Amino acid sequence: MQRKTGDNRIFANPFNREYWRLALAEMKDPRMLAFAALILALRVALKPLNIPIFGDLKEGVGFIVNAFGSMIYGPVVGLLSGALSDTLGFLLFPDGVYFPAYMITEMAGCFVFGLFLYRAEITVPRLLLCRFTICLFVNVLLAYPIHLWYYRAVMGKDYSIAMIRVVKNIALFPIETVILAVVFRALLPPFKKLGYTVTGGDKLRFTRKHIAALIALTVIGAGTVTGYAIYSYNTTSLSASYTSEQRLNRNRALEKYVLKEHPDLAEEDTVCIIESAYPRAFRPEVTYQVAVYRADLSGAEQPEALMTELEGLSKSKAASRAELSLLFREEIVLSSENAKEPEKGGETE
């Protein structure tokens, strides 16, 4: 199959008007759309196929098909393909609750593959930068806020980054790059003869410089992810992920601490609500912001039950209760061992 346009130009980068004109033209080529449909079907079929790595951590193989397809039909068709892939994949292999925002990462992955590989001379450095960009910026920095949104909107709790899944994206980056180079080196020559690609795979040979670049990018990625994870850990309040029982127990524990520090307060009508609980990476402390209220239990048929209900409230619910009058707020720093905080949960892909 020869391209409908008959234009086999190669571009050094996507910052060219003709590049985007040709990428948009792929949307009008029936043969290219048919090929994109085949790639889409293959991607969806491969979604449940994963390689076990460690525990429940798995690595998919769909990125190979995604990269090859985006290289042929470009970033514009890739955006549409990514949206359809996520939706069809969920319909055929449902897992949890469908969340439309997840298609953003699928679309971003296709788009980046297209930017780097469409109508380009496929070389090892280009594959290195392409896969590195997706691993770091798409799979980590873009995926995290989407996961956070999903957990808060659908599951009603906070999401904290799971380091093992972040490390996976950086640790597997060199392996995935080598796999892409091997696959492209094998497939590019025959697909060039068929007219699907504009370049062969003769420049996909690893040299010492390429290996050094691979190691350097891995180190840079690991450092960036570590810094990002530390920042996320330090700025994510533990209190957002408390269960009802944990919230009640922690509020009561801080209440005892406040009563000890402020003997003028009456135990029978004092309620302490944890508004935030920030840990600090590499430090054993948790910093609590606590709101101290006076509870009005007059007129209550069951004062003890009402007091228990008030003590188990969250920040927002406590602020709206008529029975509670805010006295002051206090910052309390306790060791995490004494605080007995629940672990921060959540996963990332």
Would you say residue 53 lies in a domain? Answer: yes
Verify that 121 and 257 share a domain, yes or no.
no
Would you say residue 11 lies in a domain? Answer: no
What's the sign of the alpha-carbon dihedral 105, 111, 115, 117?
positive
Whole-number Å distance between alpha carbons of 348 and 94: 18
Looking at residue 338, what is its pLDDT? 54
The last residue of a domain, from among 208, 236, 264: 236
Which of these ranges, 43-57, 189-203, 270-284, has the smallest mean pLDDT? Answer: 43-57
Verify that 208 and 256 share a domain, yes or no.
no
Give the number of domains in the chain.
Answer: 2
What Rg do the C-alpha atoms of the chain give, in angstroms? 27
Verify that 107 and 231 share a domain, yes or no.
yes
Q: Closest Cα partner for 84 from 41, 29, 141, 118?
A: 41
Would you say residue 348 lies in a domain? Answer: no
The last residue of a domain, from among 236, 253, 270: 236
Looking at residue 166, what is its pLDDT? 63
Structural domain boundaries, residue 294:
239-336
Verify that 232 and 283 share a domain, yes or no.
no
Verify that 55 and 198 share a domain, yes or no.
yes
How many beta carbons lie within 10 A of that of residue 69, not counting itself? Answer: 25
Looking at residue 327, what is its pLDDT? 94
200 CB-near residues (< 8 Å, 6+ apart): 188, 189, 192
- The pairing of beta strand 57-60 with beta strand 270-280: unpaired
Judge whether 348 and 142 are in contact, CB under 8 Å.
Answer: no
Binned at pLDDT 50, 70 and 90, residue 347 comes out as very low
Verify that 261 and 164 share a domain, yes or no.
no
Would you say residue 12 lies in a domain? Answer: no
Q: What is the pLDDT of residues 271-312, one digit of tens each?
A: 999 999 888 766 778 889 999 999 999 888 898 999 999 999
Looking at residue 92, what is its pLDDT? 78
Verify that 175 and 258 share a domain, yes or no.
no
Judge whether 240 and 261 are in contact, CB under 8 Å.
Answer: no
Verify that 121 and 207 share a domain, yes or no.
yes
Which residues does residue 52 pair with via DSSP β-bridges, in sequence order? 58
Judge whether 112 and 142 are in contact, CB under 8 Å.
Answer: no
CATH classification at residue 182: 1.10.1760.20
Whole-number Å distance between alpha carbons of 210 and 131: 14
Does residue 129 surpass a pLDDT of 80?
yes
Whole-number Å distance between alpha carbons of 79 and 343: 37
Would you say residue 143 lies in a domain? Answer: yes
Verify that 64 and 97 share a domain, yes or no.
yes
Residue 313, helix vs strand vs coil: coil
Verify that 90 and 176 share a domain, yes or no.
yes
Looking at residue 345, what is its pLDDT? 35
Does residue 71 surpass a pLDDT of 90?
yes
Binned at pLDDT 50, 70 and 90, residue 45 comes out as confident
How close are the terminal C-alpha atoms of the chain, in Å?
37
Looking at residue 328, what is its pLDDT? 94
319 CB-near residues (< 8 Å, 6+ apart): 291, 326
Would you say residue 252 lies in a domain? Answer: yes
Would you say residue 167 lies in a domain? Answer: yes
DSSP-H helix ranges across the chain: 17-25, 30-46, 62-92, 103-117, 124-133, 143-150, 163-171, 173-193, 208-234, 244-261, 303-311, 315-319, 336-339
The last residue of a domain, from among 236, 252, 284: 236
Q: Closest Cα partner for 346 from 221, 181, 160, 219?
A: 160
Would you say residue 346 lies in a domain? Answer: no
Which of these ranges, 27-41, 69-83, 177-191, 329-343, has the smallest mean pLDDT? Answer: 329-343
Verify that 223 and 75 share a domain, yes or no.
yes
DSSP-H helix ranges across 281-320: 303-311, 315-319
Q: What phi, psi does 167 have (nearest 5°)?
A: -60, -35
Verify that 149 and 270 share a domain, yes or no.
no
